[in-house]
Amino acid sequence: MSVDTSAAQSPTIGVVQDKINVGILGATGTVGQRFITLLSSHPWFKIHALGASSRSAGKPYHSAASWKQTTPIPSSVRELIVHPCDPTEPHFRECTIIFSGLDAEVAGDIEAAFRTAEFAVFSNAKNYRRDPLVPLIVPLVNNPHLAMIPQQQALHNPPLKKGFIVTNANCSTTGYIIPIAALEKSFGPIEAIMVTTLQAISGAGYPGVPSLDIFDNVIPYISGEEEKIEWETLKILGGITENDDGLKVFDMHASHPLRVSASCNRVPVIDGHTECVSVRFARRPPPSPQQVREALAAYTPDAQALGCPSVPRHAITVHEEPDRPQPRLDRYYQEGAGVSVGRVRQCQVLDIKFVVLANNVSIGAATSSIINAELAILRDIVSR
């Protein structure tokens, strides 16, 4: 299979005349490092402030970070001084957007403080995903959920003018929900999903899983992961409606009940989550495997049409080979910003089954947050 590794060309790439200052929280961690790699050459954003724990604060970034990326530390951030994750720090005060790669153990209070200080916070942490006022956005699926932000600001105490939090989904949810959304768009509601994940060790952060646990082994348990997939799917695929009090609420796919069963496994792969998915459609007869392949390949998310510069040219790459996708071969296609799907075939229990591969530290983490910020700019939620 020949592939085009060029990024999508954005027709609105000049919409931001002067680059917007951004800060990165958790800058020394795995996701923070990926933020730095992606943002260092971003056409709209300029890395202006880096935040990390007290043991890293005060050091130049190259001394504070144990760099684990395949490319060198960008020269633009190498000498930047790392600051405490405090919105009153002068360098953060000069930022408009904050990207959070913080660990969930500390993210909640810190992200809330930045929101209260009127920053636009785009978080990779899990802390606010269940919040009924916080959009849970997979940018290649449900960016209209950004419409919840004005209500989040209005109901905050005190009300906010610019501050808000947007979260992206769990990395395993993000990978498989993109093709699921494409199939619902083409063929209507899906009634049931069974998904089994083979998740890379980088999903556990650094230093991650002990070597004696993961070498020559598969660990059939990842704490909280199965529950995240099952409920996040409903919030992401659901719409927004009004309750009896006139407030916007997520309908959690209520227009057509959907059951999701997830089984999660940690495997000895560095990057790239593989997921085996079976689905049952509400429509009868269900689509054929060939119709499913065609629908997946043709899927064009709103973020592509709007002109987000970090959106991949192909949201879903469909493989015809019987042994693809594979993490080692396919995880960095389009810089990991899209997903790969292969082995589309009939399922003898449900209707259709297929295999998905997603780069868990790119579209499953940092890339999603960056595209979410681009969408907020294009939708005039964040000032240009």
Given the residues 171, 264, 308, 319, the one annotated as active site: 171
Between CA 126 and CA 169 the distance in angstroms is 8
Confirm whether 273 is a catalytic residue: yes
Six-digit token string for 282: 């509400």
Burial of 171 (0-12, 13-18, 19+ CB in 10 A): buried
Question: Of 273, 308, 314, 319, which one is the catalytic site residue?
Answer: 273
Three-class DSSP labels, 43-72 = CCEEEEEEEECCCCCCCEHHHHCCCCCCCC
User: Would you give the DSSP letter of residue 219?
Assistant: B
Quote the Cα angle for 326-313-168, to 5°: 75
3-class DSSP assignment, residue 207? coil
**Sequence-ordered list of residues with C-beta below 8 angstroms from that of 342, at least 6 positions apart, any chain:** 318, 319, 320, 321, 322, 324, 325, 354, 355, 357
Cα–Cα distance, 274 to 324 (Å, whole number): 10
Which tokens is 311 given? Answer: 């959106």
Which of 148, 175, 107 has the alpha carbon at shortest distance from 355? 175
Whether 83 is catalytic is no
The catalytic site residues sit at 171, 273
